[in-house]
Amino acid sequence: MSIIEERRTEIRAHGITYQIVVATRTDVDRAEPTPRVMITLEAGGPGGEPVAEGSLDLDAELADTVADLVADGLLSATGAGRAPRRRSAGRPAQQGRPWSEEMDAELENRWIAGESVAEIAAYFERTPGGIRARLPRVGCDPENPGCYLPVPPSRRTDLDEGEPG
């Protein structure tokens, strides 16, 4: 397992301290690494006594759906209503959503075929910055249209260097 990003938040309310950790990670020990999201909650009372704890481990592709379900459940349990979500004007529909293997393959194919960042961004309904950030993850060089990133020396094989294998 390798952690990609981790965010920690501490909230105090009514004498209880809540600590929430959200970590994105990849299970590199699997045959096909899978992006995961791990959410951990711990809460302690005024004297430090534990009052709540738990964790949730799920596929990254489900994170938005689970977040909505949890938020809706918590708000309905407290009697609070939830304001409808509004998208910022001009924000691409898929911005911030997870990428699938199929989407990564399509991104790579379009970049190598010579499509521009703007064309690819429009196709995927994402921002140009999001496309540029994703290109290295699929092995493409965002600075050189139509090109792959060079293979670092530590990952080259004899065949990569032109030596007979």
In order of their start, the domains of the chain are 2-77 (3.10.450), 93-152 (1.10.10)
Q: Which residues pair with 44 in a beta bridge?
A: 17, 50
Q: What is d(CA 11, CA 18) in angstroms, rounded to the nearest whole number?
A: 5
Q: Tens digits of per-residue pLDDT, 104-117?
A: 999 999 999 999 99
Q: pTM (2 decimals)?
A: 0.43
Q: Which pLDDT score is estimated for 165? A: 41
Q: Among residues 120, 161, 122, 118, which one has the least CA distance to residue 138?
A: 120
- More reliable by pLDDT, 83 or 141: 141
Q: Tens digits of per-residue pLDDT, 87-102?
A: 555 678 888 889 999 9
